[in-house]
Amino acid sequence: MANYAYYALHELHILPHVLVAMSRREQAAIYAMIDIRVETEKRERTRRK
């Protein structure tokens, strides 16, 4: 949870209290989007090497 909150704050500019106030469904969507974005960024980094 802490890693997601950190990423949401620094990359998506979602404040922690806003993230916590979201419903479980909204949080799950944000976490899934973060997972997809991190995986995409990882693939891009490996492709550039």
pLDDT recorded at residue 1 = 79
Between CA 9 and CA 49 the distance in angstroms is 28
Domain count, the chain: 1
**Structural domain range at position 28:** 2-48
Angle at CA of residue 1, ends 48 and 30, nearest 5°: 65
pLDDT recorded at residue 21 = 97
Low pLDDT (below 50) residues in the chain: none
Q: How far is CA 9 from the centre of its chain?
A: 9
pLDDT recorded at residue 2 = 87
